[in-house]
Amino acid sequence: MKITNDEITKIQSYMQEKFGNKTLALRPRAQTDDSVEVLLNGEFIGVIFKDDEDPNDISYDFNMAILAMDLA
């Protein structure tokens, strides 16, 4: 389930294009290699997990938590 450096580069480029923001960056997580951190302007905003249960249908799941206190 490891996310490779090549995958990180491709996902980062895709997300920068999709969200129209070149400050969006991905970086490997220290604890595990099945996911990467997502940063916006250097601030952590979420995690991307790799799902490769079916090798013919690999996908990536972006999880972003929004705290109520951040909305105030």
The DSSP result for 2-57, as a single string, is PPPHHHHHHHHHHHHHHHT-TTEEEEE-SS-SSEEEEEETTEEEEEEEEE-SSTTS
How high is the pLDDT of residue 55?
Answer: 87
Residue 64: its pLDDT value, please? 96
Per-residue DSSP letter, 71 = G
What is the Cα Rg of the chain in Å? Answer: 13
The residues of the chain scoring below 70 in pLDDT are none
The predicted structure's pLDDT at residue 47: 97
Pairing assessment for the beta strands 35-40 and 24-28 based on DSSP bridges = antiparallel
Full domain range(s) for residue 41? 5-71
Q: What is the pLDDT of residue 11?
A: 98
The pLDDT, as a whole number, for residue 72 is: 87
Token pair 């991307």 is found at 48
pTM, two decimals, is 0.89
Number of domains in the chain: 1
